[in-house]
Amino acid sequence: MFKIIPVALFFLSFFASLISNAILRRLSIKYDFLLDKPNLIRKFHKKITPATGGIAISFGIIFSGLFLYAFDGTSQNFNIPSSSSIFGNQLQNTDINNVYEMDLAEGINIKIQRIDDNSFMIIMPSGEKNIYEIDSSGQETSIPPNNIKFNFSKFAFGLFFFTLLIQLFMILDDLWGLKPVTKLLLQSVCVGGLIFISEIYIISFGNLLGFGEIYLGYFGIPITIFCVVGIMNAFNMIDGINGLCASLCLLCLISLIYATNGSYYINIYSLIIPVGAIMGFLMYNLGILGDRAVFLGDNGSNALGFLCAWLLIFLSYPENQAISPPTALWLVAIPFVDAVGVIFVRLLNKIRISKSQRDHIHHKLINLNFSEEAIFSILISCSGILAFIGLYLNNQYAEQSFYSLYAFIIFCGCYYLIISQLQKNV
């Protein structure tokens, strides 16, 4: 039963998003709200298009999340063994959410994860799970299956709340337009709010340069705000052709599912649900269902960027470290190098950074007479290859993450060299 839950959740979020997109795009057209109109500067679509895709993705995630919360408390059966005293002693020096591996016999090992101060989970080689509570006398007691609850941490609550909040703010931008400074302020407030609630931020870059650990201390708070706001705007900037922004987020989430081995560092459900919701949106955004597309809108692209940025930070956090900090760059490489390149060139040419121009990678490829379909295929294929390289380096050089950083710097140099040549040929 446990093994089919991820599949069921995927299809639940997929169809919830699919239905939400169908309903919201009709309402958008009927009542004339959140409609994206083409112009001659940046928006080269031919039809007035509903920008309700981001809201529909959120509906899919919320519906599936509520179902998971209800289901998780009543229906899981993990075939719990009768005794755990040999395991509980191993957790004395293990932090919350950290995973300890223990060998039972040659070639057989289990994973033990501390949930909170008084309970822990045992993950058997078969994938079966068992949760225990530690009472006042230090003895471990098995929790019956119908008492197992979904572990909704402060980080999970904050991520859910502030993702919706940033989306609400950006809906105002889609409807009436907000000043760039106002948007940056609202984005920063949401990032700061999640840091305050979860107490999670970038506290270390790891052995980034090969000379030892780089600790940031409280300087990590403004650095985290800068990084998350930057990734949010990078995803917003790359949202220029159908399917691109959402598919880049999808690739990032799938890569994280692989990097975390399905669970152990983060509940696999929290990654599968948005994957299904995004794919439901892509059915309309890519024109697979119906001839009228649906766009993410600024609210959707910012929310997806916020989600990806925080998951990357959480999973590179020292206590959860499934990926190294440089690996996070590989998983969002295309939006990152595009945004950095565009900002640098605009500053160099004394052009206002927030000014709308056709100077992103997809615009340059369009100027070279590539079709939208070809551009989508090229950029998603490149992103997939880069994610594979990042994950490979993450696995092979876990203790020497500086190799991954140096490789990424080489990639950036090659990328900007190629882009400069493309610019000359336009």
pLDDT digits (tens, 9 = 90+) for 248-290: 999 999 999 988 875 444 567 788 999 999 999 999 999 888 6
| DSSP character at residue 295 | -
Q: Convert the pLDDT of each residue in 341-384 to its tens digit.
A: 999 989 888 888 877 788 889 988 988 889 999 999 999 999 99
Tokens of 98: 């950290």
Please provide the average confidence, as pLDDT, over all residues in the chain: 81
pLDDT of 129 reads 61
Task: Kindly report the three-state secondary structure assignment for every residue of the chain.
Answer: CHHHHHHHHHHHHHHHHHHHHHHHHHHHHHHCCCEECCCCCCCCCCCCEECCHHHHHHHHHHHHHHHHHHHHCCCCCCCCCCCCHHHHHHHCCCCCCCEEEEEEECCEEEEEEEEECCEEEEECCCCCEEEEEECCCCCEEECCHHHCCCCCCHHHHHHHHHHHHHHHHHHHHHHHCCCHHHHHHHHHHHHHHHHHHHCCCCCECCCCCCCCCCECHHHHHHHHHHHHHHHHHHHHHHCCCCCHHHHHHHHHHHHHHHHCCCCCCCCCHHHHHHHHHHHHHHHHHCCCCCCCCCCCHHHHHHHHHHHHHHHHHHHCCCCCCCCCHHHHHHHCHHHHHHHHHHHHHHHHCCCCCCCCCCCCHHHHHHHCCCCHHHHHHHHHHHHHHHHHHHHHHHHHCCCCHHHHHHHHHHHHHHHHHHHHHHHHHC
Positions of the chain with pLDDT lower than 50, given as ranges: 1-2, 73-88, 105, 143-151, 263-265
Calpha distance 100→112 (Å, rounded): 5
Predicted local distance difference test score (pLDDT) of residue 82: 37
User: Could you state, in order of their start, the residue ranges of all structural domains in the chain?
Assistant: 2-71+152-425, 85-147
- The encoded tokens of residue 336 equal 């990152």
